[in-house]
Structure 1
Amino acid sequence: MNQSESTMETEKAIYVFVEVLIAGCCCLGNVLVVLALWKTRMVQQPTYCLIVSLAVADFLVGAVAIPLAVLVDGQVETSFHTCLFISCVVILLTLVSVLCLTAIAVDRYLRLSLPFWYKRTVTWRHSYYVAAACWLLAFPLSFTPMFGWHSTPPNSSRSEPCTFIKVIPSDYLVYFNFFLCTLIPLLVMTVLYSYVFCYVRENLREKPGNGAQNQSQSYLRKEKKLASSLSLVLVLFALSWLPLHIMNCITFFNGSQTVNHIAIHVGIALSHANSAVNPVVYAFKIKKIKRAYINIWRRYTTCEGEYQGSHSSKTDNEPSCNNIIETDDN
């Protein structure tokens, strides 16, 4: 093995190690998000229901997409159509995240622009249907290459190293996956959040008056805090995914040799890291989710204490691990 091959093997080993680390963080963090929102019954609120759907997609990025992304980097030999199917699954979870983020932005917009209609009409069941629609819509969009928009398969039927860029054409990645399915939704979300912040800012400028007006301003402040937290999730998504999409555009318009393969690996790892960052954002920016995290931790430690002290006497006033559940205060 010459020096260049040894260097490539080292780089690939580092890339795989980083991906495994990111996958573990994705799984643990997003399981905590789902558990926190489910145990506190916050999942029954429309916005948090959509956040759970996003967290499930982020969990599957760690559990499914990252392992498959490593495989389609030439790690295994498969038939052409098997490799194509695996590559489409990797694309699927990205599109689900984009659609869930868009649904959350629309939810916040409707909650502020049509508050009475929203409270009277939108329920957690509607959010379940919207979340399901995001997943159902993502399937045909991500599996479009399976219906013919793919690279020309080899004539031979023998297995070859499965590589993402050999089966997914660059024009699909640039025109369809980036411009249509990612960039347009990002622009729509930017407009919606801009409206939300402008609306809240204009209404908070009014001087406080009677009790009803003070209550309205308190409501708007809460909406602003939640919207700022969710918009931060959007910004981090854009910052994590745009470098990879930009590199795909450069490769498509200027040739495959214009972008170093190390840069591609960094872009892929950065895009996957976004799914591990979201639970941290929820913990530090959304108080209800932060309290739910703390509740789970207290419940766990209480259960451990009850288990370890099961043979010792306990008073009736001690909390039971089955009762430490915080309900929503809205």
Structure 2
Amino acid sequence: MKTDSRSISPGWVIYTVLEVLIATACCIGNALVVCAVCVGIRGSLREPTFCFLISLAAADFLVGVAAVPLAVLLDGWASLTPDLCLLLSCVVLVLTQASVLSLLAIAVDRYLRLHTPLRYKDLATQTRTWLAVAVCWALSCLLGFTPLFGWHNYTTQVAGATNKSSSSSISTPCTFLSVISLPFMVYFNFLGCVLAPLLVMILLYARIFWSLQGRLQDSAPQARALLLRERRLARSLALVLLLFAVCWIPLHSMNCMLLFHGPEAVTQGTLYAGILLSHANSAVNPVVYAYRIPKIQQAYSQIWRHFLMGLGCCHGDERIQRACSTGNRPNHTEMCGSGGKTTP
């Protein structure tokens, strides 16, 4: 691999700096989510929703570790063989697909929990849940690596190449759309692998909210509190879905414009903005979890408490120590943690 000698523009510098910030936020935020769910919430790994949230957080973490660096690299700054360029480009597709399928699994889980309450515990066992997570990632790899089986551009990338063996051995500046076919991105990836699951999820959540609204009107006071908690969690998860759609639809729309109207339809700056927005989705999700899901709120506060204690803050800062011992401050739970258990 050798670095391409392109000129560096101010716009590219801004784009790269923002990508670095987004990647850092993705890694820190989603690592915190996984830690909070696995360590801070008792029995969370026995609850399907949290298992699927871990899967989504893992995909978002890998966006920061792999997808963002690859997005910068696959902008023509490295000369790679077409085979390697295609492989690295497919990794980005795999991570996107893993996020979509994890969101779909969450929606199906909430639907089954609400509409099959008597059979739910038998259906959503821990073994079946993790099997579903494994199936999501296996399907993501299968769908994301589809271009490797022949639906790609790179046979026409190298000028003067007369056969496949010679074209695959020549290093050229690697860009995503030089090896990934636009018809593949629009017809297969967008319409089939992203938009279709999004429509299914919208229908599922519409059915969930419609059913909850009806049950809340007819429920007894004892059951009302449980239904309200279920609705709050469903709203939080639906918000995650909405943010995914808002962040990813613009980039896919640009691919459609490029396919139907040519390269002049989308400027480089607009394309950079779409890429940044899609990556920012992975950094925003941990913030949504923190503000919208009480169990994760409590787990975050516990992690924060242990972090402060590890730094000696609860022993060195008299104000924090006094709050921890007396609990007189209104935000005592947030500063010092709580041993109690909240429900979603």
- The answer to whether the Cα contact below 8 Å between 1:292 and 1:326 also exists between their aligned partners in 2 is no
CA distance in 2, matches of 1:304, 1:44: 32
- The answer to whether the Cα contact below 8 Å between 2:309 and 2:315 also exists between their aligned partners in 1 is no
* Alignment TM-score, normalising by the size of structure 1: 0.89
For 1:282, give the aligned amino acid: Y
Q: Does 1:78 align with 2:68?
A: no
Quote the residue 1:274 is aligned against: 281
Quote the residue 2:94 is aligned against: 92
Identical counterparts, % of pairs: 48
SS in 1 for 2:312: helix
Q: Does 1:250 align with 2:286?
A: no
Question: Which of 172, 176, 190 lines up with 2:184 in the alignment?
Answer: 172
Aligned residues: 310
Shift of 1:257: 1.4
Deviations 1:63-101 (A, max 9, x none): 111001111011111000000000000111000000000
- The answer to whether the Cα contact below 8 Å between 1:74 and 1:163 also exists between their aligned partners in 2 is yes
CA distance in 2, matches of 1:174, 1:117: 39
Shift of 1:328: 6.2
SS in 1 for 2:153: coil
SS in 2 for 1:92: helix
For 2:245, give the aligned amino acid: A
Q: Does 1:194 align with 2:206?
A: yes
- The answer to whether the Cα contact below 8 Å between 1:299 and 1:324 also exists between their aligned partners in 2 is no
- The answer to whether the Cα contact below 8 Å between 1:72 and 1:164 also exists between their aligned partners in 2 is yes
- The answer to whether the Cα contact below 8 Å between 2:152 and 2:181 also exists between their aligned partners in 1 is yes
CA distance in 2, matches of 1:85, 1:46: 32
Deviations 1:211-235 (A, max 9, x none): xx32222211111000000000000
Quote the residue 2:308 is aligned against: 301
SS in 2 for 1:205: helix
Question: Which of 52, 59, 65 lines up with 2:54 in the alignment?
Answer: 52
Q: 1:210-289 alignment to 2 at 5 Å?
A: 213-289=220-296
- The answer to whether the Cα contact below 8 Å between 1:37 and 1:48 also exists between their aligned partners in 2 is yes
Quote the residue 1:312 is aligned against: none
* Alignment TM-score, normalising by the size of structure 2: 0.85
Q: 1:62-73 alignment to 2 at 5 Å?
A: 62-73=64-75
For 1:272, give the aligned amino acid: H
User: Which structure's relative contact order is higher, taking Cα pairs within 8 Å and 6+ residues apart?
Assistant: 1
Shift of 1:152: 3.9
For 1:137, give the aligned amino acid: L
Quote the residue 2:45 is aligned against: 43
CA distance in 1, matches of 2:339, 2:23: 29
Task: Return closer, same or farther for 1:327/1:131 CA change in 2, 3 Å cut-off.
Answer: farther
CA distance in 2, matches of 1:152, 1:262: 25
- The answer to whether the Cα contact below 8 Å between 2:182 and 2:259 also exists between their aligned partners in 1 is yes
Q: Does 1:185 align with 2:197?
A: yes
- The answer to whether the Cα contact below 8 Å between 1:46 and 1:126 also exists between their aligned partners in 2 is no
